Amino acid sequence: MSTTSPTSLATVYGYPRQGSNRELKKATEAYWADTSDPERLLATTRQLRRERVELLRAAGIEEIPSNDFSLYDHVLDAAVLLGAIPPRHRETVPDVSTPQGRLDRYFAMARGNDQVEPLEMTKWFDTNYHYLVPELGPDTAFALDPDKPLREFAEARDAGVITRPVLVGPVTFLLLAKPAADAGEGFEPLSLLDRIVPLYADLLQRLRAAGAEWVQLDEPALVQDQPAVVLDALRGAYATLTAVVDRPKLLLATYFDRVGDALPVLRDSDLDGVALDFVGPAAANLAALTAAGGLGGKRLVAGVVNGHNIWAADLAAALDTLESLRGLAGRVDVSASCSLLHVPLDVALERDLDPEIAGWLAFARQKLDEIVTLTRGLTAGRAAVADAVNARAERLAARAASPLVRVDAVRHRAAAVTDADLHRASPYGKRDQIQSEQLNLPLLPTTTIGSFPQTPGLRQARAALRAGTLNPDSYLAAMRDEIRDVIAEQEEFGLDVLVHGEPERNDMVQYFAEQLDGYLATTDGWVQSYGSRYVRPPIILGDVSRPKPMTVEWATYAQSLTDKPVKGMLTGPVTMLAWSFVRDDQPRADTARQVALALRDEVTDLEAAGIRVIQVDEPALRETLPLRNADRADYLAWAVESFRLSTSGVRDETQIHTHMCYAEFGDVLQAIIDMDADVISLEAARSKMAIVADLARADYPNEVGPGVWDIHSPRVPSVAEITEHLRVATDVFPARRLWVNPDCGLKTRGYPEVRETLTNLVAAARQVRTQV
């Protein structure tokens, strides 16, 4: 017998901020270009928020969030809310008594300016959204600045909507922060919990006084493995917050994965409601909740519509989940699994989409309809939504059977992969000998990571080609000119292994996605990456294959211009998945294998065309690591397998490189070894080559190119500085297995600093060569 009250509500935790025409981007960038009119920016954002509330209300969302909007980032908003402003930003923008002062300080923290460095930026859990990392120390002068949540609540209230303000919860806020540079040895931001909880308590009372009935506290950090001290901190913080008098009801939200050990803490707390994710690996929340005997009388908000991906939901399955949840809580409401911030706005905005495929997709706007339908199904019974559920089932069946999705030849090929396909002919030791003879490189060979500066001219040429105002022949000629210049520059610097410079690539994933069958590009599927930066991730729609070579023409043209080896440049299978929306109808491992086979064809074609060095970039390998430790081994197994599958089809004499960006490599060192690339380049300049010692300790058997130039800065390192980096590296790692290269691609830098740095880099390598 169910104790659930018959009515359920439709809600969401957040909605895309940008506006249907990316008005937010335009308005913020206009403000950055000319800061004299803050009111114009503020008026635009008020208008955008008003439209969002209207849209959500009209769609049938009954409990609408507020404060999920942000001018730049919600973690930055939380830092400002709590007064966690680093001294350098206070000092550069001391006066925040005016709207312009407030904006200028906020954007100084977000983006820096000519006097001050911004906060660091990093990925928000397993999404491609980046948040700004709060910097905290024992001296952080917390003080509540409640203006934003109160104002946004009042705006909607005055328009007749009582919203549910959304805040980053105190535990997650501190776990996402990093110690300020002067915080002192061993300082842990979580030690500040007792200092920020009273600010939350104060804010809760103010929101209640303003009329808020519910407030949502987001604690996604709970979906990661947390030690007992964190769970104790959680218990303590929420004991305090739930004891606040005259407070709104509190909904604690977790998303992106299962809540694990935190579940009993939440269940036993005095929280009024808990929001849990029930899609993907988080579907395990259902069994856990059942085993725990449910949430008692608390409200459960069930995230049953995937907020992290773009597929139309299986409504029948979601209803099954919702019905199983009945009886496990005082009341069950329906939501997306996470904020809809991570999906594009609206399928209807697509200008170039086959209507059949459109029916398989659900962007943010479509997900609202799904949530409303499911809520009705839960409240009024399945019969009330039978038409929608049946129509959806038919569409999903059509999708599953579509020749765009299922390509037997691809599936057979993937099924026929053998262990031999995952291994080079000989072990590294032998390959190394053969490659040294063939390539005849000096000790400490020099190279770059692939791209060269993307000049306005290149971007214009690509845009003109797309717009049809530049014909393909002229475009080809323009790219060839660029490649010729880039090769000539590199010969001038004296680099040993050259690159063609990637002038033809808009983006390292999109470029390949556009050429592979099984991928779909969107015209308007913008998703916020950070601040005013939006990306349009491609969609992996069906079985992936390569109809024809993708890079061979560029690489061979470049090679024809020089006697030095030119390095072919591809994006690896893990990254091709990580920065796309992936299929939900088969395991990622299967999709990765198909992509790997397509890339394997490209790798062997490059080899056949005379390219002797081929780099397969995997910058996303570390960041795609599952949130829960228990899921990592399985992920790393398929990640490594797909890399090996894409690169093992070549002869011993062909040298395979890979590249990864900054990351804490500790958890993936063994995987990096298992990838068995002949050479790996890694970002290392900012960490002063620490990674080289880590690799030495792990007995990394192959070759390494630790970056000696921090690509995030235009500052040119001197010969002496690079020499010093190289000495640190050669002290701990055999020189004959070291390469000399900058960090990451050069595409975001300008030619002046690239020229100077690479000249210095070659000089430093020459100097160190004579000394080891």
DSSP label at 533? E
DSSP 23-69: HHHHHHHHHHH-TT-HHHHHHHHHHHHHHHHHHHHHHT-SB-EES--
What is the spatial distance between Cα 381 and Cα 368, in angstroms, rounded to a whole number?
A: 19
Separate counts of helices (H) and strands (E) for the chain = 28, 21
Select the binding partner of residue 617 from Zn ion, ligand GLN, none (C-beta < 5 to 8 A, by kind). Answer: ligand GLN
CB of 136 to Zn ion, least distance (A): 28
Annotated catalytic residue 130: no
The sign of the CA dihedral 456, 457, 461, 467 is positive
Stretch that binds Zn ion, among 25-33, 174-182, 591-599, 738-746 (CB under 5 A): 738-746
When CB distances are held under 5 to 8 angstroms depending on the partner's kind, the choice from ligand GLN, Zn ion, none that residue 537 binds is none
Q: Does 622 bind ligand GLN (CB under 6 A)?
A: no
Classify the C-alpha dihedral 213-218-223-224 as positive or negative: negative
* Min separation Cβ 683 and ligand GLN, Å: 8
451 binds, among Zn ion, ligand GLN, none (CB under 5 to 8 A by kind): ligand GLN
Binding segment for ligand GLN among 277-285, 314-322, 415-423, 449-457 (CB under 6 A)? Answer: 449-457
Q: Which of residues 47-106 bind ligand GLN (CB under 6 A)?
A: none
Residue 670, φ and ψ in degrees, nearest 5: -65, -40
Per rule CB under 5 A, is residue 661 in the interface with Zn ion?
Answer: yes
Active-site position among 89, 130, 659, 712: 712
CA geometry: angle at 219 spanning 213 and 223, to 5°?
140
Q: Could you say which of 510, 676, 745, 762 contacts ligand GLN (CB under 6 A)?
A: 745
Question: Could you tell me the smallest distance in angstroms from the CB atom of residue 744 to Zn ion?
Answer: 3
Q: Toward ligand GLN, which CB reaches closer, 68 or 683?
A: 683
Count the neighbouring beta carbons within 10 Å of the beta carbon of residue 418: 7
Query: For ligand GLN, which is the closer residue by CB, 432 or 683?
Result: 683
619 binds ligand GLN (CB under 6 A): yes
Which single residue brings its beta carbon nearest to ligand GLN? 745
Burial class of residue 139, CB neighbours in 10 A (0-12, 13-18, 19+): exposed
The DSSP H or E segment spanning 722 is helix 719-732
189/144 Cα distance (integer angstroms)? 18
Residue 313 interaction partner, one of Zn ion, ligand GLN, none, beta carbon < 5-8 Å per kind: none
Pick the closer one to Zn ion by CB: 738 or 744: 744
Residue 450 binding partner per list Zn ion, ligand GLN, none, with a CB distance cut-off of 5 to 8 Å that depends on partner kind: ligand GLN
Residue of 483, 744, 762, 765 interacting with ligand GLN (CB under 6 A) = 744
Nearer to Zn ion (CB atom), residue 509 or residue 744: 744
Tell me the residue type at 58. A
Residue 658 parent element (H or E): strand 655-660
Site residues (CB under 6 A) for ligand GLN, limited to 568-587: 569
HSE-CB of 111 using CA atoms within 13 angstroms: 15
Of positions 70, 127, 451, 454, contacts ligand GLN by CB under 6 A:
451
**How far, in whole angstroms, is CA 593 from its chain's centroid?**
21
454 binds, among Zn ion, ligand GLN, none (CB under 5 to 8 A by kind): none
Query: Of these, 744, 746, 754, 761, which contacts Zn ion (CB under 5 A)?
Result: 744
* Site size with ligand GLN, rule: CB under 6 A: 13
Give 741's strand partners: 707
- The nearest distance, CB 457 to ligand GLN, in angstroms, is 18
| 45 Cβ contact partners less than 8 Å away, ≥ 6 residues apart | 24, 27, 69, 71
Instruction: Pinpoint the alpha helices (H) of 579-689.
Output: 588-608, 632-647, 669-675
With 0-12 / 13-18 / 19 or more C-beta atoms within 10 angstroms meaning exposed / middle / buried, residue 270 is exposed
Measured from the CB atom, the residue of 199 and 599 that comes closer to ligand GLN is 599
Q: Which is nearer to ligand GLN, 569 or 650 (CB)?
A: 569
Cα separation, 217 vs 248, in Å, equals 12
Three-state SS string over 343-387 comes to CCCCHHHCCCCCHHHHCCECCHHHHHHHHHHHHHHHHHCHHHHHH
Query: 3-state DSSP call for residue 407?
Result: coil
695-to-382, 624, 648, 738 alpha-carbon distances in Å: 57, 21, 23, 11
The answer to whether residue 659 forms part of the interface with ligand GLN (CB under 6 A) is yes
Residue (135 or 502) nearer to ligand GLN, CB? 502
Report the site for ligand GLN in 491-520 (rule: CB under 6 A). Answer: 502, 508
Contact 138, 183 (CB under 8 A): yes
Q: Which is nearer to ligand GLN, 65 or 619 (CB)?
A: 619
CB burial string 721-752: b at 16+ within 10 A, e below: bbbbbbebbbeebeeebbbbbbbbbbbebeee
**Which partner in Zn ion, ligand GLN, none is near 52 (CB below 5 to 8 A by kind)?**
none
Q: CB of residue 554 vs ligand GLN: minimum separation in angstroms?
A: 13
- Residue 747 binding: pick among ligand GLN, Zn ion, none (C-beta 5-8 Å cut-off by kind): ligand GLN
- Residue 482 or 617 with smaller CB distance to ligand GLN: 617
Separation CA 714–CA 755 (nearest Å): 11
Measured in Å, how far apart are the chain's first and last C-alpha atoms?
78
Residues in contact with Zn ion, counted by CB under 5 A, come to a total of 3
**Order of strands across the sheet that contains 566-571:** 498-499, 566-571, 613-617, 655-660, 679-682, 703-706
Neighbour count for residue 641 (Cβ, 10 Å): 21
- Shorter beta-carbon distance to ligand GLN: residue 541 or 682: 682
Of the candidate spans 238-246, 281-289, 498-506, 657-665, the one that interacts with Zn ion by CB under 5 A turns out to be 657-665
From the CB of 529, what's the least distance to ligand GLN, in Å? 13
Closest CB 503 distance from ligand GLN, rounded Å = 11
Return the residues of window 586-625 that contact Zn ion according to CB under 5 A: 619
274 or 449: whose CB is closer to ligand GLN?
A: 449
Phi/psi of residue 487, nearest 5 degrees: -65, -45
Question: What's the closest the beta carbon of residue 89 comes to ligand GLN, in angstroms?
Answer: 28
Which of residues 537 and 745 has its CB atom nearest to ligand GLN in the complex? 745
| Out of 79, 121, 341, 449, the residue judged to bind ligand GLN by CB under 6 A | 449
Residue 663's binding partner, choosing from ligand GLN, Zn ion, none, with beta-carbon cut-off 5 to 8 A by kind?
A: none
Half-sphere exposure for 105 (CA within 13 Å, toward CB): 23
- Residue 661 engages ligand GLN in binding (rule: CB under 6 A): yes
Interface residue with ligand GLN, options 77, 152, 617, 710 (CB under 6 A): 617
CA angle at residue 767 from 764 to 772, to 5 degrees? Answer: 115
Neighbours of 211 (CB within 10 A): 12
Q: Pairing relation of β-strands 121-123 and 130-132?
A: antiparallel
> Which of the ranges 199-207, 316-324, 444-452, 476-484 carries the binding residues for ligand GLN, by CB under 6 A?
444-452
| Rounded least distance, CB 729 to Zn ion, Å | 18
Q: Is 691 in the site for ligand GLN (CB under 6 A)?
A: no
Give 514 or 584: the residue with its C-beta nearer to ligand GLN.
514
In the complex, what is the shortest distance from the CB of residue 619 to Zn ion, in angstroms, rounded to a whole number?
5
State the minimum distance, in angstroms, from the CB of residue 535 to ligand GLN: 13
Q: Burial level of 292, CB count in 10 A (0-12/13-18/19+)?
A: middle
747 belongs to the binding site for ligand GLN (CB under 6 A)? yes
User: Could you list the residues that contact Zn ion (CB under 5 A)?
Assistant: 619, 661, 744
User: Could you list the residues that contact ligand GLN (CB under 6 A)?
Assistant: 449-451, 502, 508, 569, 617, 619, 659, 661, 744-745, 747
Active site amino acids: 712
